[in-house]
Structure 1
Amino acid sequence: MSPSTTATIARQVGPAVIGLRSGSRGGSGVIVAPGVAVTLARNIRKDELTVRVGESDRAARVTGVDPTVDLAVLTLEGPELPEPIEWATGEDVTIGSEIYALADPFGRGLRVTPGTVSRAPSGLRGPSGRLIEGVIEHTAPLPRGSGGGPLVDADGRIVGLNAIRRDGGLIVAWPAAVLRDRATTLASGRATAPPRLGVALVGARQARRLRAAVGLEPIDGLLIQAVESGSRADRAGVARGDVIVAIDEAAVSEPDLLYAALDAATDSDIAIKIVRGTKELVLIVRLGDES
């Protein structure tokens, strides 16, 4: 890892890095296709925003958002946009791999820092609570406002989007393997996020403890702490205090099993078995309905 490599990365990748300004919560992004950029979903505040591209401000429009992987896709307006940066297609990022983090925090100027992968790709929960596999932890320091900027390899290909700053200065990036196909789908105007039930959950251990505290038999399942008004779960009749024990007859004892069942659902309806007090009920959730 040499100063000349950093300079090359800045020259090759830097022009495609954008800064998010008005209409956003700030942050960075990167152009990945002609007129198309990506950033973190959490950076977005409005459907229309202004981004900094090089020395000029451009209008941008949110084409799609997938909160399950913290991804937002933007369509940029105006001519003569920089050349897009390619996604990496291999899954060979390992401890010690050479990487470079780029950002344009709030559109205030390009930052490029070298580093190495400090932890083998692993699973980490995203903002929506779903497990994101293959996250990359690295040592390239970044200032505030860098979230959504690209993490690239020595060839200038995107291996991830920088997402989380850890104590001690380490940074976590969501991996290209999870983002790239979703970004293409969102850019076409199609949705990528799986259906939402619209509930807040309590894990199985706490659910057993809470039921025991009110004199009910402890059971394995997910306790419904809250139901979003008008959501699919609400329309199906799911209520606060219910315990989800199965979906389509498959036992559900932890959130990841529930998410997997929703991801795998191919029909427009799913059957959710719940325990309400001492009664067992089966409720039909219409996945074809808007959440």
Structure 2
Amino acid sequence: MQTKTRTRALPALVLGALMGATAVAALAPAISPAQAHAVQPGGYADLVARVAPAVVYIEVTQKAQAADFNPADMPPGFEEFARRFGMPLPGQPGGPEGQGPQQTGVGTGFVISASGDIVTNNHVVEGADKVTVTLADGTRLQARVIGTDPATDLALIRVEAGHDLAFVEWGDSAALRVGQDVIAIGNPFGLGNTVTAGIVSALGRDINSGPFDNYIQTDAAINRGNSGGPLFDAEGRVVGINTAIFSPTGGSVGIGFAVPAETARTVIADLADDGKVERGWLGVSIQPVTDDIAAAIGIDAAKGALIADVTADTPAAKAGLKRGDIVTAVNGAAVDSPRDLTRLVATAKPGTEVTIAILRAGQPTDIAVKLGQRAEQPA
């Protein structure tokens, strides 16, 4: 078997779905997860019974790519032998294609509408020629990829079941607290319906996987194949999409990361609209506010995003933002670091007007900016 993984920044940060056969989920009653209640003493059984019907398992297949041909890899004298007897060489018309077996992989997803919209990770369906979804009752359906967003590693796919599907609702990830109970449901290692529980270990994690990192960290067991699966709060609402793990071994060591629902809800709504994500853009270069800068301008804490440069003829320049301004908030949401500013601006729609709170020469002021559209950038 082959595995599809990615490693970024942290040692052994595993992103990817297990490559193998899809397991069929256990039969479950199609009760709307929106009716889920908080966990009662005695465990999560009632909660899981309500939300499990909306969790699906995703199998993807991808055509094998032709292997690159390097003449240096041939045995000594083979090229001359092939020419003498009229045999085509690899890479030539009529020659061996050098293709390996078809690649397959599995992941997890969850239904967010009765009509069949399903959320998963981009890396689960990326490059797939065929996507098959297995519902909780064992029904297998072909899925269509509606849109993907590599920057946040999210994807929206859709199935036509011919009837309403059980679905789950988004929760409020912004209200999460460290220590709060969470439950993950997924398809680890292709085993099928698997439930794990834990707590929120940390919030706002930056694992250097992209410009919009704002992960929920949890100790609920997450393994390969859980990718794209839901992270539920104790009321059965989706607060995160399980996406990555930190692991020296490839298995769970209690450090998993989920994209917050606050981010996913906006991205998925954009993908549902036209299959792509449009992001706001200011047109500035930014850097952290250091302790020395904070002391120099007389502020108590080294928080905010320092504007290092303003590009001409951009929304920022037109609104009057200047080099040296320190951004402290966007539409009332605090900006403690450059990452916060990037995320808050990017999640706003192009063309909308936002209020940016700044410190200029130590004095607070608000500036209204009509955002432009962020150009596509490599993930």
Tell me the SS of whatever aligns to 1:91. helix
In the other structure, the counterpart of 1:18 is 56
Residues 177-217 of structure 1: CA deviation (Å, up to 9, x unaligned): 11112212212224215499xxxxxx9xxxxxxxxxxxxxx
Match of 2:211 among 124, 130, 145: 130
Match of 1:162 among 242, 263, 268: 242
User: 2 CA distance for matches of 1:169 and 1:87?
Assistant: 24
Report deviation, 1:259: 5.5
In the other structure, the counterpart of 1:9 is 47
Question: Given the superposition, is the C-alpha separation of residues 262 and 2 from structure 1 closer, same or farther in structure 2, using an over 3 Å criterion?
Answer: closer
Verify: 1:27 aligned to 2:107, yes or no. Answer: yes
In the other structure, the counterpart of 2:269 is 184
Question: Given the superposition, is the C-alpha separation of residues 104 and 80 from structure 1 closer, same or farther in structure 2, using an over 3 Å criterion?
Answer: farther
User: 1 CA distance for matches of 2:221 and 2:161?
Assistant: 32
User: 2 CA distance for matches of 1:52 and 1:10?
Assistant: 18
Contact kept? 2:223, 2:245, Cα under 8 Å? no
Match of 2:221 among 125, 141, 150: 141
Residues 231-289 of structure 1: CA deviation (Å, up to 9, x unaligned): xxxxxxxxxxxxx965336669x99599679848958xxxxxxxxxxxxxxxxxx9799
In the other structure, the counterpart of 1:247 is 311
User: 2 CA distance for matches of 1:90 and 1:70?
Assistant: 17
Larger RCO (alpha carbons 8 Å, 6+ apart): 2
Report deviation, 1:158: 0.2
User: 2 CA distance for matches of 1:259 and 1:157?
Assistant: 27
In the other structure, the counterpart of 1:200 is none
**Larger-gyration structure (1/2):** 2
Superposition pairs of residues 187-266 of structure 1, within 5 angstroms: 187-194=272-279, 247-248=311-312, 263=346, 266=350
Question: Given the superposition, is the C-alpha separation of residues 78 and 116 from structure 1 closer, same or farther in structure 2, using an over 3 Å criterion?
Answer: same
User: 2 CA distance for matches of 1:6 and 1:258?
Assistant: 38
Contact kept? 1:105, 1:145, Cα under 8 Å? yes
Superposition pairs of residues 47-126 of structure 1, within 5 angstroms: 48-54=130-136, 55-80=138-163, 82-89=165-172, 91-105=174-188, 108-119=191-202, 121-125=203-207
Report deviation, 1:81: 5.2
Question: Which residue identity does 1:36 align to in structure 2?
Answer: D
User: 1 CA distance for matches of 2:123 and 2:242?
Assistant: 12
Q: Name the stretch that deviates more: 27-36 or 81-90.
A: 81-90
Report deviation, 1:25: 3.8
Question: Given the superposition, is the C-alpha separation of residues 126 and 194 from structure 1 closer, same or farther in structure 2, using an over 3 Å criterion?
Answer: farther
TM-score under structure 1 length normalisation: 0.65
Residues 51-100 of structure 1: CA deviation (Å, up to 9, x unaligned): 21121221101101111211100111222453110001362211110110
In the other structure, the counterpart of 2:365 is none
Tell me the SS of whatever aligns to 2:265. helix
Greater strand content: 1
Question: Given the superposition, is the C-alpha separation of residues 92 and 79 from structure 1 closer, same or farther in structure 2, using an over 3 Å criterion?
Answer: same
Contact kept? 1:20, 1:106, Cα under 8 Å? no
Question: Given the superposition, is the C-alpha separation of residues 36 and 4 from structure 1 closer, same or farther in structure 2, using an over 3 Å criterion?
Answer: farther
In the other structure, the counterpart of 1:274 is none
Tell me the SS of whatever aligns to 2:44. helix
Tell me the SS of whatever aligns to 2:175. coil
Contact kept? 1:136, 1:174, Cα under 8 Å? yes
Q: Name the stretch that deviates more: 174-183 or 21-30.
A: 21-30
Report deviation, 1:163: 1.1
Contact kept? 2:211, 2:343, Cα under 8 Å? no
Superposition pairs of residues 275-290 of structure 1, within 5 angstroms: none
In the other structure, the counterpart of 1:42 is 123
* Structure 1 residue ranges, 4+ long, deviating more than 4 angstroms after superposition: 1-4, 249-252, 254-262, 264-267, 286-291
Report deviation, 1:16: 0.9
What is the identity percentage for the equivalent residue pairs of Structure 1 and Structure 2? 29
Question: Given the superposition, is the C-alpha separation of residues 3 and 51 from structure 1 closer, same or farther in structure 2, using an over 3 Å criterion?
Answer: farther
Q: Name the stretch that deviates more: 80-89 or 67-76.
A: 80-89
User: 2 CA distance for matches of 1:86 and 1:170?
Assistant: 25
Question: Given the superposition, is the C-alpha separation of residues 261 and 86 from structure 1 closer, same or farther in structure 2, using an over 3 Å criterion?
Answer: closer
User: 1 CA distance for matches of 2:162 and 2:44?
Assistant: 28
Question: Given the superposition, is the C-alpha separation of residues 50 and 84 from structure 1 closer, same or farther in structure 2, using an over 3 Å criterion?
Answer: same
User: 2 CA distance for matches of 1:266 and 1:144?
Assistant: 36
